[in-house]
Amino acid sequence: MTRAALPTLGGAMAALSVATDFAMAQSAHFGMRSCALAVRLADIMGWPVQQQRQAYFQALLRYIGCNPESEVIASVVGDEMAMRRDFAGMDTADRHAVGALVVRRLRETYANLPAWRLAGKLVGTLLTAEKTMAGIFSGHCEVGQRLATRIGFDGDTVQAIGQLYERWDGRGQPGRVRGEQVSPAALLVSLSQDVVVHHDAGGVEAAVAMVRQRRGKAFSPAMADAFLGHAASVLCGIDALPEGVLVDVPGGDEPLDEARFDAICEAMADFVDIKTPWTLSHSSGVATLAHGAARSLGLPAQEATLLRRAALLHDLGKVGVSAAVWCKPAGLSPPEREQVRLHAYYTERILSSSPAFAPLAEVASLTHDRLDGSGYFRRPPASGLPVAARILAAADHYHALIEVRPHRPAFTRADAARDLLAEAGAGRLDPRACEAVLDAAGHAAAPKPRGSSLTEREIEVLRTLARGHSMKAIARELGIAPKTVDHHLQRIYSKVGVSTRAGATLYAMEQGFTSALH
């Protein structure tokens, strides 16, 4: 990929917003349509260009931190995607409405339970719902801010992303700040996204009624009035924004250099991998193997770089499938297997939404296809699988085997190598690609900590925490007392500057502590 083909910041974030649309189970182009509305309202209110720019990127990145608690939500309500879809646009301070939604989701998920057990589920969940939601929202904010910082956004934009659940009346999360203490960009995008949800459901009248009801509560009165005074005009065409069309970035877009493009790809990889404790650092590990194999086979540097980026993003479509499927400890049902197969298609959809990502989409979407026509989702003939796709398929297969999965333990390296070569012998994977991946795996150095001040014991505790273990489970696995675990966690959080399990997990991924290549 040449420098001329590198995307702009706006184009890259547009693709990331499509990924968050899938992750939040929202309608097509939800993030970009919300962005268009926010920019129109900011212009009506006479915001300066820099402030409009913050609103633009806030709309595209608002849910970049949404994935860390996916398994937790799925373990409670069964399908976090359905919960997120139904929760969108809801007044988060309306306890009755939120409680009714939780009850409905629980009744659907546990419909086969005896009445007394269902009642216990309902009572237990409702009693802890407020505390659970506060923890989830805090984790979303912290992870979103860390990822936005890695992408290279300024402090004001990062601060706004950390306030996505705050409200004008101070009844939001996690800081319960109010009024002008809340970032204007965060407030405007909150209004814009709620408007899009209600407009999709009931048209202009529904959106207007919702804003009137929440004026001075969730929404700034001035912002609500700006919308109410121009509702018909600002919503004109908002539901028909064509796929792939980007709203102009206020003040102009900016091109990305190679280093920042790599940083964005790495952040997007962690965005998807943190969805479950079973896939932490999977994409970065596959990228390490694929890049090493490409160099071993003598691919030109430009092609090896393209392959590394495609490997980082090859599983991006996983965000569109419920964590209840990815974390299921038993065999998948036919509908669940079909959902898994769809994630490769979702990956292509996300990456193809930005022209500069299209070359990556061509390789990434072929990860699960095989030479004999099996696999999914394209099923091209063997001649239609380029060398890069063959390497990526082998790297992904090997790396998945050496990782723990909910239905099996990790393979040993020797067993994983035998399985990989068996796939090549059966004609499903390319033999040369498999040999190159094994060569890369044999020489892959464990990622070095980037200046981490943690002790070896603290790293062990952090690594176990990142896998989703409770404090008691960490104590059992490491043979120490729960109080000792708590002491270690307090020191870890203080040393690395995080305040949530989600933030600590992302830090562990950034440092390479969760890599299966250790």
Q: What is the pLDDT of residues 78-128, one digit of tens each?
A: 899 999 999 998 999 999 999 999 999 999 999 999 999 999 989 999 888
| CATH number of the domain where residue 468 is located | 1.10.10.10
Cα 423 from Cα 296, distance rounded (Å): 20
Which residues pair with residue 219 across a beta bridge? 215
Task: Look over the chain and give the mean of its residue pLDDT values, rounded to a whole number.
Answer: 93
Cα 29 from Cα 21, distance rounded (Å): 7
Query: 335 with 400, same domain?
Result: yes
Mean pLDDT of 484-507: 93
Residue 447 pLDDT greater than 70, yes or no: no
Mean pLDDT of 491-508: 93
Q: What is the pLDDT of residues 54-79, one digit of tens each?
A: 999 999 999 999 999 899 899 889 89
Token representation of residue 184? 């204007």
Inside any domain, residue 109: yes
Inside any domain, residue 503: yes
Q: What is the pLDDT of residues 375-404, one digit of tens each?
A: 999 899 998 999 999 999 999 999 999 999
Tell me the backbone φ, ψ of residue 369, rounded to 5 degrees. -85, 160
CB crowding 118-127: b at 16 or more within 10 Å, else e = beebbeebee
Q: Of 233, 267, 289, at which residue does a domain stop?
A: 233
Query: 290 with 352, same domain?
Result: yes
Q: What is the pLDDT of residues 208-241, one digit of tens each?
A: 999 999 999 999 999 999 999 999 999 998 988 7
Q: How confident is the model at residue 1 (pLDDT cuts 50, 70, 90)?
A: very low
Query: 416 with 462, same domain?
Result: no
Residue carrying structure tokens 């009714």: 100
Structural domain harbouring 507 = 456-511
Q: Mean pLDDT lowest for which of 167-181, 243-257, 447-461?
A: 447-461
Cα 288 from Cα 466, distance rounded (Å): 21
The whole-number pLDDT of residue 518 equals: 64
Q: Of 443, 477, 493, at which residue does a domain stop?
A: 443
Query: 23 with 126, same domain?
Result: yes
Q: How confident is the model at residue 2 (pLDDT cuts 50, 70, 90)?
A: very low
Q: Of 443, 472, 499, at which residue does a domain stop?
A: 443
Query: 381 with 488, same domain?
Result: no
Conformation bin of residue 170: beta by default, left when phi > 0, alpha when psi is -120 to 50: left
Query: 304 with 196, same domain?
Result: no
Inside any domain, residue 159: yes
Q: Comparing C-alpha atoms, which of 301, 401, 431, 306 is closest to residue 361?
A: 306
Q: How confident is the model at residue 448 (pLDDT cuts 50, 70, 90)?
A: low
Query: 358 with 478, same domain?
Result: no
Q: Indicate the burial class of 257 (C-beta count within 10 angstroms; 0-12, 13-18, 19 or more).
A: exposed
Inside any domain, residue 365: yes
Query: 324 with 358, same domain?
Result: yes
Inside any domain, residue 246: no
Report which of residues 4 and 494 the model is more confident about.
494
Q: Give the list of residues 6+ apart from residue 335 with CB closer than 8 angstroms, or none.
A: none
Inside any domain, residue 409: yes
Inside any domain, residue 250: no
DSSP letter, residue 351:
H
Dihedral, CA of residue 206, residue 207, residue 208 and residue 209, to nearest 10: 50
- Using CA atoms, how far residue 462 sits from 140, 428, 452, 491, 506, in Å, is 19, 38, 12, 11, 11
Q: How confident is the model at residue 4 (pLDDT cuts 50, 70, 90)?
A: very low
The whole-number pLDDT of residue 242 equals: 73
Query: 302 with 357, same domain?
Result: yes
Cα 351 from Cα 355, distance rounded (Å): 8
Query: 31 with 57, same domain?
Result: yes
Q: What is the pLDDT of residues 11-58, one digit of tens each?
A: 999 999 999 999 999 988 999 999 999 999 999 999 999 999 999 999
Residue 451 pLDDT greater than 70, yes or no: no
Q: How confident is the model at residue 449 (pLDDT cuts 50, 70, 90)?
A: low
Q: Indicate the burial class of 445 (C-beta count within 10 angstroms; 0-12, 13-18, 19 or more).
A: exposed
Domain tally, the chain: 3
Residue carrying structure tokens 């091209």: 380
Query: 436 with 319, same domain?
Result: yes
Query: 336 with 376, same domain?
Result: yes
| CATH number of the domain where residue 217 is located | 1.10.3210.10
Inside any domain, residue 517: no
